[in-house]
Structure 1
């Protein structure tokens, strides 16, 4: 490991590297957020479906991260041109529908590529194989596969209903389907995004109450931006009227990543810290994780919101709360580490789907939080966190999970820490630790 010239961090390149962060004296400053990964991958696919030889779309602020680059690199094999220009990335399909009739597609560990790509390919005519890395091939996709099979699509998933997935389709043969949404809202979003390809009215019904509802709303909002209307009835029935086609705008700007913003805003919310401002995200955001801003306010932080920024400063204390985080499971990880600094026992509830993300996050959070001396109770869908009376320095495992690495960086507000495999942040935010340095005061 090489010591960085600023004295804060050791350099990292490979998975066996370790990032050293001394105790941070304070947090203040401004960060320019990268574009949202969730918006970017939806925009890439919707632009591919909404352009043709006579129409292109420029995506502005497309982030340069592993998850986004996975889908960006797949699109040319589907007959879609992807060209970086000064204004952004120009997307243009060579047909009025995606042209590939066969192919093998590797998605690494990008769920926002795997799930919608599977649904879209199933609505075409052809044979395809979609697979990922070891982590992705452990993430369940059976609920989505079952729903697509009900539409006459031949789908063969691997053991346990996980990728790799083989698809053989002659298009959807029915105009209605049911699906479960308790494992991942991405299954619902995938079905919605693919439905207009049937060119007839399509009805999707849910068999349960879905998780992460704001991400479904995000999908519906973006489909409208690309010319397709979806009618929602209490997250139980979705109607996509017939005779609709995607029509991409000439330009589409990707707003800042709200999940990434939580780490910096949480740092600013610590008692006596801030202000910390994030640019690229504001009051008109379409991302559910912006709601974390209000959680920080309820914990005692002082907050400001503008059209294109959010700002947070700490109060005299950080209140411990009992919170249902089902709508914001990614932000729940930030909340877990922030709770180490709260004034008492905190509860994070209704987050069972954290167990099937990039890592088994509920157990991983318990294991790593306890390294600081905290007492943590783990349930099937909850964590109860009692802060340590005196925080211990610790070396944290990340489990190849970008959000574990970013969330545990906040512990440096109390003690010096080490983070294994810090390069895993490349998945969504390659420059995270450089931006963290911008607001960390020695």
Structure 2
């Protein structure tokens, strides 16, 4: 497959391997950390040098929006960005920001714009206009910022009119997305008075909140929290610094899964048990299914073994739930993935999409309110629909490593977070063909 094949909009065929895949691969930088570091560095005093950044559609729209807000940045090479912070004072008083379908970007920037003085509008594509953001908007209004969903449907576009972020106490729902809370946390040090954030209900994707707190700490800001349900932030200032971003653990899941499915072995440098990203623990799930995992100081190695179906709560690592769906096809016995209802408001309804596409491949899959159950069986040739969802494309490509006749529609949708995914998968598997 070539770059032209992947980005011309036509489906691509996945070539099966004849032997276990083995090797070492470094995925691109973490999208989640990159976009958090960009927000914090943009607010900081002084210049920050971000190394290992991800170059993808999601980070591109973030950088373009920061530029529209008057933040100066420079790309030093493919993965290094120098960014001059604004010291908490957004330079412009009016901006229209276009975020495509990047949830991290629109939610983090909505919170950031609340610290500005003026009017800011944030919008995205058709799917973005279906993804809720009202809980964040309500929280900003509770703090005294004038914020509204312009179409009245609880989704973008969002308009912010403000004169800085007041302090006080605010309540925010935690059951749909941790990104609302992360956005508020990162902007909170620039509130005019101390700010307390209280989470109502279950907080999903807790590792992403821990990631946010870690990035904030690396730039010099402390947050008081005892149970991750309430947070106290006094007025502080981020300090520009040199910051190294880890390889993307969600992206690494596809290569761990490839080794698991084919009985091979893969090493991912740059990740470890101490990684900021909760998705490194996807390998714990594969270990529960029968694989062998070796944790090293600066790498993780996984060896594939015969797989057993399991029942697993993937709330904390839901971005890898689609990857596990592909692995489950090759297990002995059913696999039940639960507590991932919040996946329904991602790039697509990921619960329904996984079930639909597994059925297209001839696999029995049961849809539940909070996830799905997958019953292994023979796979029939089909063209997998991807719903403009990068994780659908990357996850279902793995099934084609063992079964012929699997095509992936719209493979270019992986540009959202991993533009070179199919090229990297081809290189990784080349020796096994």
Partner of 2:316: 327
Is contact 2:178-2:206 (8 Å) kept?
Answer: yes
User: Judging changes above 3 Å, is the alpha-carbon distance between structure 1 residues 223 and 355 closer, same or farther for their aligned structure 2 residues?
Assistant: same
Partner of 1:83: 74
How far 1:430 sits from its partner (Å)? 0.4
How far 1:283 sits from its partner (Å)? 3.0
2:273 to 261, 278, 283: 283
How far 1:422 sits from its partner (Å)? 0.2
Partner of 2:176: 183
Partner of 1:154: 146
Alignment of 1:291-440 (within 5 A): 291-315=281-305, 317-388=306-377, 390-416=378-404, 417-440=406-429
Is contact 1:269-1:302 (8 Å) kept?
Answer: no
Report the secondary structure of 1:32's partner residue: coil
C-alpha separation between the residues in 1 aligned to 2:326 and 2:269? Answer: 23
Of 213-222 and 80-89, the range deviating more from structure 2: 80-89
1:106 to 68, 89, 98: 98
Report the secondary structure of 2:25's partner residue: strand
User: Judging changes above 3 Å, is the alpha-carbon distance between structure 1 residues 88 and 22 closer, same or farther for their aligned structure 2 residues?
Assistant: closer
C-alpha separation between the residues in 1 aligned to 2:288 and 2:6? Answer: 37
Partner of 1:221: 214
C-alpha separation between the residues in 1 aligned to 2:113 and 2:379? Answer: 50
Report the secondary structure of 2:6's partner residue: coil
Partner of 1:245: 237
C-alpha separation between the residues in 1 aligned to 2:4 and 2:31? Answer: 27
Under a length normalisation based on structure 2, what TM-score does the superposition of the two structures give?
0.95
C-alpha separation between the residues in 1 aligned to 2:177 and 2:400? Answer: 32
C-alpha separation between the residues in 2 aligned to 1:27 and 1:386? Answer: 24
Report the secondary structure of 1:336's partner residue: helix
How far 1:96 sits from its partner (Å)? 5.2
C-alpha separation between the residues in 1 aligned to 2:285 and 2:301? Answer: 13
C-alpha separation between the residues in 2 aligned to 1:111 and 1:94? Answer: 23
User: Judging changes above 3 Å, is the alpha-carbon distance between structure 1 residues 94 and 151 closer, same or farther for their aligned structure 2 residues?
Assistant: closer
Report the secondary structure of 1:293's partner residue: helix
How far 1:351 sits from its partner (Å)? 0.4
Is contact 2:167-2:192 (8 Å) kept?
Answer: no
How far 1:153 sits from its partner (Å)? 1.3
How far 1:439 sits from its partner (Å)? 2.1
C-alpha separation between the residues in 2 aligned to 1:96 and 1:217? Answer: 22
Is contact 1:213-1:327 (8 Å) kept?
Answer: yes
Alignment of 1:20-31 (within 5 A): 20-25=13-18, 26-31=20-25
After TM superposition, which residue ranges in structure 1, 4 or more long, deviate above 6 angstroms?
none
Q: What RMSD over aligned residues (CA atoms) do the two structures have, in Å?
A: 1.6
2:195 to 165, 189, 202: 202
Partner of 1:132: 124
Of 376-385 and 226-235, the range deviating more from structure 2: 226-235
Q: How many residue pairs were aligned?
A: 427
C-alpha separation between the residues in 2 aligned to 1:246 and 1:438? Answer: 41
C-alpha separation between the residues in 1 aligned to 2:327 and 2:88? Answer: 48
Instruction: Name stretches of at least 5 consecutive residues in structure 1 with no aligned partner.
Output: none
How far 1:164 sits from its partner (Å)? 0.5
Is contact 1:101-1:125 (8 Å) kept?
Answer: yes
Alignment of 1:33-44 (within 5 A): 33-44=27-38
How far 1:238 sits from its partner (Å)? 0.9
Of 335-344 and 116-125, the range deviating more from structure 2: 116-125
Partner of 1:46: 40
How far 1:403 sits from its partner (Å)? 0.3
The reply to whether residue 266 of structure 1 matches residue 257 of structure 2 is yes
Is contact 2:97-2:122 (8 Å) kept?
Answer: yes
